Chain A
Amino acid sequence: MTLLRLDGLRADAGDRALLEDVSLRLGAGRVLAVLGGSGAGKTTLGLAALGESRRGVRLGGTVRLGGIELLGLGPRDRRRARAGAVGHLPQHPGAVLDPVRRCGSVLVELAAVGHRGRATRVAAAERALHAAGLDPEHWHRFPHQLSGGQQQRMALATTLVTAPSLLVLDEPSTGLDPRSRERLAERLRALSTAGMALLLLTHDLDLARATADDIAVLEHGALIETGPADAVLTDPRHLGTAALLTEDPPLPPGPVANTPPVVVAAGLTVRAGHTVLLRPTDLTLTEASRTAVIGPSGAGKTTLARAIAGLLPPSGGSTTLDGLPLLAHVRERSREQLRAIQYVHQDAHASFDEFRDVLGQVAATATRLRGLPEPEARAEATALLDAFGLFVGTRHPHQLSGGQLKRCALARALLAHPRLLICDEVTSGLDATTRATTLRTLDSAATRTGVALLLIGHDHQALAAITDRTITVDGGRVTEVPDSPWMQWKRGLR
Chain B
Amino acid sequence: MPGYPARRLGLSAVQALVVLVATFGMTALLPGDASSVVLTEHAAPEDVAVVRARLGLDQPLTVRFGHWISGLFTGDLGESLVTALPVAEEIGRRLAATALLAGVTLLVLLPLALLVGVASGLREGSRVDRVLTSVAVLLHAVPEFVLGLLLVAGLAVHGGLFPATAAGVDLLARPEVLVLPVTVLVARQLCDLARQIRIGVAEHSAGEVAGHLRLLGLPEHAVVLRHVLPGASAPVVQQLARTVEGLLTGAVVVESLFAVPGLGTGFVEAVQNRDIPQIQGYVLVFAGVVVLGNLAADLVAHRLTPRRELVLR
Q: Using a CB–CB distance below 8 Å, which chain A residues touch chain B?
A: 50, 52, 76, 79-80, 82-85, 87-88, 90, 92, 95-101, 106, 109-110, 112-113, 142, 144, 155, 158-159, 162
Bound Cα distance A99, B306 (Å): 7
A110–B216 CB distance below 8 A: yes
Given the known interface contacts A90-B208, A99-B306, A100-B306, the answer about A110 and B230 at a Cβ–Cβ threshold of 8 Å is no
Bound Cα distance A84, B215 (Å): 10
B209–A79 CB distance below 8 A: no
Taking CB atoms, residues of chain B closer than 8 Å to A144 are 306-307, 310
A52–B218 CB distance below 8 A: no
8 A–B pairs (Cβ distance < 8 Å), ordered by A? A79-B219, A82-B215, A87-B216, A96-B208, A98-B227, A100-B233, A109-B218, A112-B222
Name the residue on A nearest B303 (C-beta). Answer: A100
Name the residue on A nearest B230 (C-beta). Answer: A100
B216–A158 CB distance below 8 A: yes
Taking CB atoms, residues of chain A closer than 8 Å to B220 are 76, 79
Bound Cα distance A90, B209 (Å): 11
Interface centre among A76, A80, A100 (most CB of B within 10 A): A100
Bound Cα distance A109, B216 (Å): 11
Taking CB atoms, residues of chain A closer than 8 Å to B217 are 79-80, 82-85, 113, 162
Bound Cα distance A82, B213 (Å): 12
Interface centre among B231, B306, B307 (most CB of A within 10 A): B306
Q: State which residues 122-166 of B face A: CB under 8 Å.
A: none
B306–A159 CB distance below 8 A: no
B307–A113 CB distance below 8 A: no
The answer, yes or no, to whether B15 is at the interface (CB within 8 Å) is no
B231–A99 CB distance below 8 A: yes
Bound Cα distance A142, B304 (Å): 12
The answer, yes or no, to whether B211 is at the interface (CB within 8 Å) is yes
B312 to chain A, nearest CB (A): 13
B51 to chain A, nearest CB (A): 60
A83–B307 CB distance below 8 A: no
A101–B227 CB distance below 8 A: yes
A79–B306 CB distance below 8 A: no
Bound Cα distance A100, B214 (Å): 17
Bound Cα distance A83, B304 (Å): 29
Cβ 8 A contact of A88, one of B215, B226, B304: B215
Bound Cα distance A62, B241 (Å): 52
Bound Cα distance A15, B227 (Å): 35
Name the residue on B nearest A96 (C-beta). Answer: B212
B226–A83 CB distance below 8 A: no
The answer, yes or no, to whether B249 is at the interface (CB within 8 Å) is no
Q: State which residues 192-243 of B face A: CB under 8 Å.
A: 208-209, 211-220, 222, 226-227, 230-231, 233-234
Bound Cα distance A203, B36 (Å): 87
Bound Cα distance A385, B47 (Å): 87
Interface centre among A90, A98, A142, A155 (most CB of B within 10 A): A98
Taking CB atoms, residues of chain A closer than 8 Å to B307 are 99-100, 142, 144
Name the residue on B nearest A161 (C-beta). Answer: B216
Given the known interface contacts A109-B222, A109-B226, A142-B306, the answer about A97 and B216 at a Cβ–Cβ threshold of 8 Å is no
Taking CB atoms, residues of chain A closer than 8 Å to B304 are 100
Q: State which residues 66-82 of B face A: CB under 8 Å.
A: none
Closest 10 CB pairs of A and B: A83-B217, A96-B212, A95-B208, A142-B306, A144-B307, A88-B215, A113-B217, A99-B307, A98-B209, A96-B208
Name the residue on B nearest A80 (C-beta). Answer: B217
B133 to chain A, nearest CB (A): 19
A95–B214 CB distance below 8 A: no
The answer, yes or no, to whether B273 is at the interface (CB within 8 Å) is no
Given the known interface contacts A95-B208, A142-B306, the answer about A100 and B216 at a Cβ–Cβ threshold of 8 Å is no
A100–B215 CB distance below 8 A: no
B227–A96 CB distance below 8 A: no
Bound Cα distance A85, B230 (Å): 28
Interface centre among B218, B226, B227, B234 (most CB of A within 10 A): B218
Bound Cα distance A351, B115 (Å): 37
Name the residue on A nearest B306 (C-beta). Answer: A142
